């Protein structure tokens, strides 16, 4: 029941949330004013409101499935939000659906991630290695399984558009999604945001290459989609090749992946340790003393200079591992990167 409540609330828009809160507060006020409205009746009414809300959302999902003709698949909360704005501004939000695979696929185990056992294996690793929001962890497995189910249940008449960049995160996710879709007959297109950026926005005087879709604005995504529309349609041969690459990838036991020479390469989790250590040493050298430095500052410096997209949570995990290994001294409590400082031992 608790899981269902959280899931339902997470899928409400701002107007629906305000309406729900207003109903609850008005009923609370009526109970307090003792106008013949009992606490028992209050509980029953709230329960009925929740059941009505569940029925409404279920019916809404059914209606939306019939009115949509395109489903976009995006990998992350930030690019999903930007794409929603782009579709709204293009008057397409009522016709084109978005499925958000909210995760970071360049890190963590991906062994058999297309099934429940693989999802549980990934959850356990994240739970024991990465500082994540407790609510996200609480719903992680169910949310991931629901996302896989949503992909499997895309109606056969939908065109599927998958947005990817040249990074291990989105390229790994692309292969996972195509494996999940292997029995589907839908037309599937891929929009490569790096190619699109070069075509529409690249300027020789600006040294910038987007590391992932989340670094593009809604205006840029709108222009990319309007000009490229459904991207590059994948042939059956291309789909089969990417599906087979997933079958190879999901047997790998490494927890860190990078994108190099147009390939996903699995590397040891210690891959960036030396770079992290050298970054701390540079700070000491600049200060001309070995003082404690906020870990968030070190992590930001490392992330800012990487040409890969691995996220700050993984780098923070490696910093904590280097503390355990006796490379760094610590001051503070490592419950989140802003709470502690480090220095070379």
Task: Taking residues 281-304, report their average pLDDT.
Answer: 93
Torsion sign, CA atoms 92, 101, 208, 188? negative
Assess whether 36 and 88 both reside in one domain: no
In this prediction, residue 229 carries a pLDDT of: 64
Least confident stretch, 21-25, 185-189, 242-246, 339-343: 21-25
Per the model's pLDDT, the better-predicted residue between 29 and 209 turns out to be: 209
Give the tens place of pLDDT for each residue, 36-74.
678 777 777 777 777 777 766 665 555 455 589 999 999
pLDDT band at 335 (very low <50, low <70, confident <90, very high): confident
* Of 8, 1, 94, 5, nearest in space to 58 by CA: 8
Assess whether 301 and 195 both reside in one domain: no
In this prediction, residue 55 carries a pLDDT of: 66
Domain termination residue (choose one: 208, 233, 266): 266
Assess whether 213 and 248 both reside in one domain: yes
In this prediction, residue 48 carries a pLDDT of: 76
Assess whether 163 and 302 both reside in one domain: no
Assess whether 244 and 299 both reside in one domain: no
Assess whether 247 and 103 both reside in one domain: yes
Q: Containing domain of residue 7, as a range?
A: 2-62
pLDDT band at 336 (very low <50, low <70, confident <90, very high): confident
Structurally, the chain folds into a number of domains equal to: 3
Distance CA 135, CA 138 (A): 5
pLDDT band at 308 (very low <50, low <70, confident <90, very high): very high
In order, the DSSP letters of 211-276 are: SSGGGS-HHHHHHHHHHHTT-EEPPHHHHHHHHHHHHHHTT---SEEEEETTEEEEE-TTTTHHHH
Task: Taking residues 149-178, report their average pLDDT.
Answer: 97
pLDDT band at 254 (very low <50, low <70, confident <90, very high): very high
Assess whether 125 and 242 both reside in one domain: yes
Assess whether 255 and 150 both reside in one domain: yes
Assess whether 85 and 204 both reside in one domain: yes
Assess whether 6 and 95 both reside in one domain: no
Domain termination residue (choose one: 266, 290, 321): 266
Task: Taking residues 213-225, report their average pLDDT.
Answer: 95
In order, the DSSP letters of 13-45 are: -HHHHHHHHHHHHHHHHHHHTTSS--HHHHHHH
Task: Taking residues 23-37, report their average pLDDT.
Answer: 73
CB proximity list for 254: less than 8 A, separation 6 or greater: 266, 267, 268, 269
Domain termination residue (choose one: 266, 296, 329): 266
Assess whether 92 and 109 both reside in one domain: yes
CATH number at residue 288: 1.10.10
Assess whether 37 and 85 both reside in one domain: no
pTM: 0.82
């Amino acid at each position: 029941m608790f899981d269902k409540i959280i899931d339902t609330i997470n899928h409400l828009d701002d107007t629906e949330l305000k309406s729900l809160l207003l109903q609850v507060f008005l009923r609370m006020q009526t109970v307090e004013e003792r106008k013949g409205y009992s606490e028992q009746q209050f509980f029953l009414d709230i329960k009925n409101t929740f059941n009505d809300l569940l029925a409404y959302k279920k019916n809404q999902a059914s209606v939306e499935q019939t009115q949509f003709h395109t489903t976009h698949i995006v990998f992350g909360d930030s690019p999903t939000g930007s794409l929603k704005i782009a579709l709204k501004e293009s008057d397409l939000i009522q016709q084109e659906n978005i499925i958000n695979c909210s995760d970071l696929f360049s890190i963590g185990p991906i062994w058999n991630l297309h099934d429940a056992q693989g999802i549980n294996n990934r959850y356990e690793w994240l739970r024991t290695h990465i500082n994540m929001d407790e609510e996200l962890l609480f719903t992680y497995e169910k949310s991931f399984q629901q996302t896989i189910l949503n992909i499997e249940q895309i109606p056969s008449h939908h065109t599927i558009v998958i947005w990817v960049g040249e990074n291990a995160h989105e390229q790994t996710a692309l292969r996972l999604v195509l494996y999940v879709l292997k029995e589907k007959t839908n037309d599937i297109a891929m929009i490569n945001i790096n190619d699109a950026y070069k075509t529409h926005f690249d300027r020789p005087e600006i040294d910038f290459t987007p590391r992932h879709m989340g670094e593009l604005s809604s205006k840029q995504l709108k222009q990319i989609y309007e000009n490229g529309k459904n991207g590059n349609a994948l042939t059956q041969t291309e789909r089969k090749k990417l599906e087979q690459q997933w079958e190879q990838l999901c047997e790998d036991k490494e927890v860190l992946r990078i994108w190099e020479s147009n390939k996903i390469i699995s590397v040891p989790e210690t891959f960036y340790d030396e770079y992290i250590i050298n970054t701390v040493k540079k700070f000491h050298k600049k200060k001309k003393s070995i003082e404690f430095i906020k870990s968030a500052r070190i992590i930001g410096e490392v992330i800012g200079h990487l040409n890969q997209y691995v996220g700050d949570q993984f780098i923070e995990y490696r910093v904590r591992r280097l503390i355990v290994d006796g490379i760094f001294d610590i001051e503070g409590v490592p419950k989140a990167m802003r709470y502690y400082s480090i220095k070379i031992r």
